[in-house]
Amino acid sequence: RLVCGDVGFGKTEVAIRAAFKAVVGGKQVAVLVPTTILALQHYKTFSERLAEFNLHIDYLNRFKTAAQKREVYRKIREGELDIVIGTHALLNKQVQFKDLGLLIIDEEQKFGVAAKEKLRQLKVNVDTLTLTATPIPRTLQFSLMAARDLSIIRTPPPNRQPIHTEIRVFNEALIKEAIYYEVQRGGQVFFVHNRVKTLPQMVEMVRRLCPDVDVAMAHGQMDSKTLEKTLVDFIERRYEVLVCTNIIETGLDIPNANTMLIHNAHQFGLSDLHQLRGRIGRSNKKAFCYLLCPPMSVLTPEARKRLRTIEEFSELGSGFEIAMRDLDIRGAGNLLGAEQSGFINEVGYETFQRILDEALQELKEEEFRELFAEEQAKKQEFVREVQIETDTEMHIPDEYVANVQERLLLYQELDSLEDEEQLQAFAEKLRDRFGRLPAQVEELFDGLRLRWTCRRMGIERVVIKGGKMVAFFIANPQSPFYDSALFAALFRHIGAEGHRIGFTMKKTARHLMLVRNDVQSLTHARKLLHTLYEGATAEVAGG
């Protein structure tokens, strides 16, 4: 089962209860986490939460000595340990469970491919609970662990408040004011700076600005004992400010820390910023997150969008919207880079299938064109994706379907429809569930019908604005469409009848276009193109 919940929504509590149930049933439990700090944190949380039940709990990470590790391995093998929490050390060949019943994976997206392969071998006959903070439909279609069951935690813990998030230009006066405000109300502060080399300079700056405040430093290259001691001291409130790298990003739970300053925030990814911000605001106190960066005018457009997104979506449970906006900003391309081995797991089965089809089609049209000439000639559709640009509102309104996730699922279903019969069945389902169709949804359906016609006609983009329609044929001059009987018939038909039917064909350096004035609506545009298409196909059929 895959459990999705925003940062701080209680996924760990679900894991603790599942682990307890497994141990009561006589099984061992393994909890796999991405960082050494998180292993320590979970060990403390599990131990405190299950203290009265006399369970045997231990952890494995790089802080343990070789002798201590050997002792833990022995206890696991002989069944003396009920719950073991660990990083990649848990995947060591020496770890042999006597009777493993439940595997819990926290922040599963943080693990590498090799680790995931070992996990697959480990979990053949074991129940698996996977925890993640980003419920995006695309990544959940076929989640990495092939989890068919999915639970989403939408409700925040009681009295939890949204985090006040602001983008500010780096300013020492602001840093000083933010730190003193938090310290005076008895809280603690994270100052995040993601460059280990210049981290000591940041510590000096904070000490200079706030001489009477206790400041500590933490980063991943520190000696393990020192790092552990620093974090434990911060958790136990011996320090008021922790100047650190994004080592604190995953799962650290310090309810008393409620202000965060992120230096050079424009250099972080969206999910990193969201996870970092999730380290504060974990109690009923109002939390503040300041994204410090150079003036907006000097940032790249992508960096500006990222920062504005994190500032805009500060409500509880906004991880979903942030993840969707991240996809808009970066595009799906980053998921599909050559360096990503086995990316079917990352993008979901349907997306993978579509990419594979497109790649095969490209090969058939270009490298192996002669081999597949006959197949291409018989092809009914020459375009996969049609872009429609119009002034008309084409969408499912929020007031018609309030739930964001529900709307996305409906869009996904709509995208898979192939003909009028399926569309009518879909429309009937919408009426039955949500009531009478609003005008925007009717327009969306008309847009879909127009898209079907364009796909058959080799049109990949249509612009309908101010009563004028411009339809762009396939941009690739090597496309088999230009060798097809359909294109020849369309060309002849427009040449002979163009003036009468109101269409003119225009050619630029890059595009071949159909132009028509006096187009009132999407329905009108579809009817005009459909009439043209029928005339051309009739000519092809007649020989």
Beta strands, E only, 379-523:
387-390, 459-465, 468-473, 504-507, 512-516
Of the pLDDT bands very low, low, confident and very high (cuts 50, 70, 90), residue 5 is low
pLDDT of residue 194: 84
Mean pLDDT computed over 202-220:
92
The pTM assigned to this predicted structure is 0.52
Whose CA is closest to 326, among 109, 144, 161?
109
Alpha-carbon distances of 207 from 201, 213, 230, 318, 525, rounded to whole Å = 10, 7, 17, 35, 68
Q: Where do the domains of the chain lie, and which CATH numbers do they carry?
A: 2-153 (3.40.50.300), 163-315 (3.40.50.300), 379-541 (3.90.1150.50)
What is the 3 state secondary structure string of 412-430? Answer: HHHHCCCCHHHHHHHHHHH
| pLDDT score at 341 | 35
- Phi, psi (rounded to 5 degrees) for 255: -60, -25
pLDDT at residue 200 is higher than 90? yes
State in Å, rounded, how far the first CA of the chain is from the last one: 58
More reliable by pLDDT, 313 or 538: 538
pLDDT given at position 35: 78
pLDDT for 331 equals 40
Strands 387-390 and 57-60: unpaired
Give the C-alpha separation, 230 to 18, whole Å: 31
For the chain, the average pLDDT equals: 79
Residues 86 and 60 sit within 8 Å (Cβ to Cβ): yes
Q: Could you give the percent of the chain with pLDDT greater than 70?
A: 77
pLDDT of residue 345: 44
The predicted pLDDT at position 313 comes to: 58
pLDDT at 360: 76
Long-range contacts of 302-308 (CB under 8 A, 24+ apart): 302/329, 302/330, 303/266, 303/267, 305/329, 306/266, 306/268, 306/269, 306/270, 306/273, 307/167, 307/265, 307/266, 308/167
The more confident residue out of 77 and 146 is 77
% of the chain at pLDDT higher than 90: 20
Higher pLDDT: 145 or 444? It is 444
Of 87-91, 112-116, 528-532, the range with the lowest mean pLDDT is 112-116
Whether the predicted pLDDT of 18 surpasses 90: yes
The residue type found at 340 is Q
pLDDT band at 286 (very low <50, low <70, confident <90, very high): confident
200 vs 147, which has greater pLDDT?
200
Comparing 167-176, 307-316, 375-384, the range with the smallest average pLDDT is 375-384
Mean pLDDT of 358-370: 70
Check pLDDT > 60 for residue 163.
Answer: yes
Mean pLDDT of 354-380: 66
* Token pair 């790249």: residue: 300
Residue whose token pair is 């093998």 = 77
- The mean per-residue pLDDT over the stretch 112-137 comes to 66
pLDDT at 129: 85
Mean pLDDT, to the nearest integer, of 37-42?
A: 82
How does pLDDT run across 394-435, given as a tens digit for each residue? 888 888 888 777 887 888 888 888 889 999 999 998 998 888
Whether the predicted pLDDT of 135 surpasses 50: no
Average pLDDT over residues 485-496: 83
Answer whether residue 365 shows pLDDT above 80: no
Chain segment 238-283, per-residue pLDDT in tens? 999 999 987 776 556 678 888 999 999 888 877 678 778 878 877 7
Q: Are 48 and 16 within 8 A, CB to CB?
A: no
Q: Which residue has the higher pLDDT, 28 or 520?
A: 28
Question: In this structure, are strands 459-465 and 468-473 parallel, antiparallel, or unpaired?
Answer: antiparallel
Q: What are the backbone angles phi and psi of residue 77, rounded to the nearest 5°?
A: -65, -40
Give residue 366's pLDDT band: very low, low, confident or very high (50, 70, 90): low
The pLDDT of residue 491 is: 84
